[in-house]
Amino acid sequence: MDTSWLVETHGDPLGVIQTLIKAAWERFELDTLMLSMNGSTKPHLINNPEQLDKVNPFKPLMTKNAAKYLPQVLEDFSIRRVGVVLRPCEMRALVEKTKREALPMDRVLTICVDCLGTYPMEDYQWRAERKGSPERLTWESLHFARQGGIAAYRFRSACQACRTPIGHGADVNIGVIGLPVRQKILLDTCDSETAITLGREEVTSEDDQSLIDQRNHIIAKLIQRGTHTRQRLADNLESILPRDIDALLHQFERCGECRECFDNCPLCAADYPTRDKQGMYAREDVKQWMISCAGCGMCEQACPNHFPLVTIFTQISQQLIDSIEPASQIH
């Protein structure tokens, strides 16, 4: 059985996605839904299904990575089952986290949504005021979803250089990029059981195949654009900024007790990366951290020195991945 299918939106893609999330709440018997798209300092927990029509996964603002907070939610055993709505970089971070931590993922329903990009906070506020409301910014993003989103140069640098903004790898993935969202969006589930539970529609017409082809074409262009942007940003790195792991370790030494990038990273815990008695961070820990970097940019957003951490970390991460013997790489 095909586990992905197009869903009619009748001019209201956001409403259809909210209805879908409500259906998921009921059918997967969720107790709470976590999402980071509300722009507050911590991801938001919805405990009442009546509030689900406030869910807006396309708000072009990201202040926290929900993957960092999921383990805390799972520590509450009165919550039997939690749904979490994630952007692709949050999903990537969660996948990396599960490699390192034994999380009870059988209690989690992951919903990953194509991302249309996010602005820096000040820019977001200015734009929302200029548009008259934050909701109009969401609609502006959705309006250009078919073309792959609006011009990305005002987005956070993490979004300009995004590896892939496509919802993928979750229990439920919601696609809007490259699609005429006022008519159709794409649902893609992890298995046929999940597809059936969400009421998979059986019809797939030739017209639908041309939409999928168009979506794949736009996705390929976005991935290519991200690759070019990462290269351009790396080329612009000033020579005083760390360009390899050893230079980065020295930089952290100079940063002293500031741990803002660690504290805001979904992959770091209070005691990770570890430090020796002289306060030096363990090379191997920092190496593993860099290799698993999800590219969400929460570190850069928090850095009081405004270091371009996404560019620095991405470059070092790529160096480290390239240096791993091909035979030892996991395929």
Where do contacts with ligand SF4 occur on this chain (CB under 6 A)?
A: 62, 87-89, 93, 115, 117-118, 158-159, 162, 165, 252, 255, 258-261, 264-267, 293-299, 302-305, 307, 309-310, 313
> Which is nearer to ligand SF4, 97 or 184 (by Cβ)?
97
Alpha-carbon span 56 to 79, nearest angstrom: 23
* CA pair distance 60, 113, nearest whole angstrom: 13
The b/e string for 155-185 (b: 16+ C-beta within 10 A; e otherwise) is bbbbbbbbbbbbbebbbbbbbbbbbebeebb
Query: CA–CA separation, 82 vs 45, rounded Å?
Result: 10
**244 vs 320: CA distance, rounded Å:** 9
* Residue closer to ligand SF4, measured from CB, 28 or 226: 226
The b/e string for 243-252 (b: 16+ C-beta within 10 A; e otherwise) is: bebeebbeeb
CB of 165 to ligand SF4, least distance (A): 4
> C-alpha dihedral over 321, 326, 327, 329, to 10 degrees?
30
Is the CB of 52 or the CB of 299 nearer to ligand SF4?
A: 299
Report yes or no: 132 and 125 within 8 Å, Cβ to Cβ: no
Give the C-alpha separation, 292 to 231, whole Å. Answer: 19
Q: Minimum Å distance from CB 283 to ligand SF4?
A: 16
* Residue with Cβ nearer ligand SF4 (110 or 195): 110
In terms of CB distance, is 73 or 303 closer to ligand SF4? 303
Least distance to ligand SF4, CB of residue 67, Å: 9
**Rounded to the nearest whole angstrom, what is the least distance from the CB of residue 243 to ligand SF4 in the complex?**
14
At its nearest, how many Å lie between ligand SF4 and the CB of residue 266?
6
Q: Please, are residues 186 and 4 in contact by the beta-carbon 8 Å criterion? A: yes
Q: What beta strand segments (E) does 48-146 contain?
A: 82-86, 108-113
51/305 with CB nearer ligand SF4: 305
For ligand SF4, the closer CB: 25 or 92: 92
If one counts every other C-beta atom within 10 angstroms of the C-beta of residue 9, the result is 19
Give the nearest distance from C-beta 151 to ligand SF4 in angstroms. Answer: 13
| Cβ 88 to ligand SF4 shortest distance, Å | 4
Q: How far is the CB of 116 from ligand SF4 (least distance, A)?
A: 8
Nearest CB to ligand SF4, comparing residues 195 and 287: 287
Contacts of 28 (CB under 8 A, 6+ apart): 81, 83, 109, 197
